[in-house]
Chains A and B, each alone.
Chain A
Amino acid sequence: MTICESIDTLAMAYLDDELAGEERRELELHLTECTGCRARFDDERAEHAMIERVLAAPPAPDLLRARIGRALDSEDAAHDRAARARRSRWVLPGASILAAVAAIAVFVGVRPVHERDPGAVAAEAIHQQMRNLPLEVRGPNTGPWLRANFEPNVEPPQVEEPGTQLVGARLLPHGINGHDGAMLAYQINLNGSPFVLSVLIVRDVRDDEMADGDAVQVNGRTMHVVQADGQVMVTVVAKHMGYMFMAPELSTNELVWLVGRTTLVGAVW
């Protein structure tokens, strides 16, 4: 096979940058000497350029980028749900206290929860939460209402659990141990069953005021697990706001997990 016999192959491989250095030089030299091959080569090059030009396509629309971002978000959420379902199976139905304690120790690295003095703020919070006062606001107005009536720099915590709904809120008429407070109610669907999560928010809290109970670290956030009147509560202090989470239907492990994934808007974790 001479160069002339292989000119189609060589021209194509040359234009596609697939020839080795020595092969390139041979072809280039040949093209200066052979007018027939030169003509064929020039035709190929023109065709090559034309095809590249006509194939040019528009860039991806911005909406597509946004769609992809959302698709990845829901993929992440599905991944988290699957991981959680695996964890929950360890501790949920019929599991003994021992299994629950072991699971907590393994998955969130916490010491066993003891019934002990929950601290004055938490004890009062639990007491207040158990009095069933009606909500003062319901639905989508809850956020604005909270800013107007409680604290302008705070938003309802964002519980990052799909299917979560903020039901409403009310102020705590007597506050909690001298702190202004508000109570928020959420409805959450976890593993298919709906339950209520209540969150108490109190203002002007020092970090050490709600440090009773067992300290837990989740996602680099410090929270405390306390127990009183048979109720488990998870507390967090952020930007001088105290948050207390309660959900009687959840295991301690699940509640800790849920709070670890909750965004406190206007607060720094």
Chain B
Amino acid sequence: MQAVKAQRSEFERQALAHVDALYGAAYRLTRNPRDAEDLVQDSLLRAYRFWDSFQQNSNCKAWLLRIVTNTFINEYQRRKRSREVLDAATAEQEATDGVLVHAAANDKQSPEGALLAHSVSDDVQRALDQLPDDFRTAVILCDMQGLSYKEIAEIMECPVGTVMSRLFRGRKLLASALREFALAEGYLKPTATTKIDADDRTIDLEKYRAARATREGSR
């Protein structure tokens, strides 16, 4: 009994310190506050059950994010698909009587502020929606959670090189989607800058390092 108590307080000290970070990741992965809460709770419960297997001294946040990511892939995607069918039915209803309610809710903030906040977060969610899951996950783990390429590679079970190319393409897609929304909404003026196609660029740190080592050797 004492051992259980000690384990609980150790878990609370180490793991629950990351609730905000986990919720942030879940919020961006699920793109829905309700699913994000469920995902965090399920993941932490799972983490608690398997706390024995967590290697002390390793990065607890990375370990927890791995559980969040896996839980999301295994369960939430499936659940989301089945719910979309239901949501389509209710959306039709809300389309007719929900417009007024929505407008009233937004009026509570300053009108411009509400409009801006609403559009920007909407754009982020729509832009994230457009990303393939692997790209989105890599970008969230890196740019939101600050994990290293190696930690992301372990979570996503792929080589570091793959992480880098997913990150690169994910960021380009996200940036260009956001730019399109910003242009469409008039936040950004079209400029003459030519868009460079991400597909034309290669990301390969190992190749650069190999070439560099050869140069050093021949010097």
A60: Cβ under 8 A from any B Cβ: yes
In contact, A18 and B148 (Cβ under 8 angstroms): yes
**Distance of A55 Cα from B11 Cα, bound (Å):** 28
Assess the A71–B41 pair: CB atoms within 8 A.
Answer: yes
A1 CB within 8 Å of chain B: yes
B149 (CB) vs chain A CBs: closest residue: A18
Q: Say if the beta carbon of B76 comes within 8 Å of chain A.
A: no
Assuming the contacts A13-B205, A58-B27, asked whether A51 and B49 have C-beta atoms less than 8 A apart, the reply is no
Given contact pairs A12-B164, A80-B4, A57 touches B45 in the complex (Cβ within 8 A): no
Chain B 9-47, CB-CB to A under 8 Å as 1, else 0, gives 001100010011011110110000100010011001100
Distance (whole angstroms) from the CB of B161 to the closest CB of chain A: 10
Contacts of A75 in B (CB 8 A): 45, 48-49
- Bitwise, B179-218 to A at CB < 8 A (1) or not (0) is 0000000000000000000000111110111111000000
CA distance A54 to B175 in the complex (A): 10
Min distance, Cβ A108 to any Cβ of chain B, angstroms: 12
| Chain A residues whose C-beta falls within 8 Å of the C-beta of B209 in the assembled complex | 23
> Which segment of A62-70, A96-104, A169-177, A187-195 sits at the interface?
A62-70
Q: How far is the CA of A6 from the CA of B41 in the complex (A)?
A: 42
CB nearest neighbor in B for A257 = B1
- Given known A-B contacts A1-B207, A8-B201, A61 and B37 have beta carbons under 8 A apart: yes
Chain A residues 43-58 with CB under 8 Å of chain B are 47-48, 50-52, 54-58
Interface residue? B68 (CB, 8 A): no
A10 to B12, CA, bound (A): 39
A145 to B142, CA, bound (A): 60
B2 close to A (CB within 8 Å): yes
B168's contact among A2, A6, A8, A54, by CB below 8 Å, is which?
A8
Q: Render A85-118 as a binary contact track against B, CB cut-off 8 A, 1 for contact.
A: 0000000000000000000000000000000000
Point out the residues of chain A lying under 8 angstroms from B168, CB to CB.
8, 12
A57 touches B149 (CB 8 A): no
Assess whether B19 is in contact with A55, with CB atoms less than 8 Å apart.
no
B171's contact among A2, A47, A71, A79, by CB below 8 Å, is which?
A47
A55 touches B28 (CB 8 A): yes
- Interface residue? A32 (CB, 8 A): no
Q: Across the interface, do A64 and B23 meet the contact criterion of CB distance under 8 Å? A: yes
Contacts known (A54-B124, A57-B27); A47 close to B48, Cβ less than 8 A: no
List of B residues within 8 angstroms of A72 by Cβ:
8, 11-12, 44-45, 48
| Nearest CB on B from A27, distance (A) | 10
Whether the Cβ atoms of A51 and B171 lie closer than 8 Å is yes
Q: Does B140 contact A (CB under 8 A)?
A: yes
With a cutoff of 8 Å between Cβ atoms, the chain B residues found around residue A35 in the complex are none
Contact residues in B for A52 (Cβ distance below 8 Å): 143-144
Q: Which residues of A lie under 8 Å from residue B12 when comparing CB positions?
A: 72
Closest Cβ neighbor of B140 among chain A residues: A55
- Asked whether A230 is an interface residue with its Cβ less than 8 Å from the other chain, the reply is no
Least Cβ distance of B180 to chain A in Å? 14
Residues of A within 8 A of B (CB): 1-2, 6, 8-10, 12-13, 16, 18, 23, 47-48, 50-52, 54-61, 64-65, 67-68, 71-72, 75-76, 79-80, 219, 261
Residues in chain B within 8 A of chain A (CB atoms) = 1-2, 4, 8, 11-12, 16, 19-20, 22-25, 27-28, 33, 37, 40-41, 44-45, 48-49, 120, 124, 139-140, 142-144, 148-149, 164, 167-168, 171-172, 174-175, 178, 201-205, 207-212
Given contacts A1-B208, A219-B1, 16 further A-B contacts (CB under 8 A): A1-B211, A6-B204, A12-B203, A23-B212, A51-B175, A55-B28, A55-B140, A57-B23, A58-B23, A60-B19, A64-B37, A64-B40, A71-B45, A75-B45, A75-B48, A261-B1
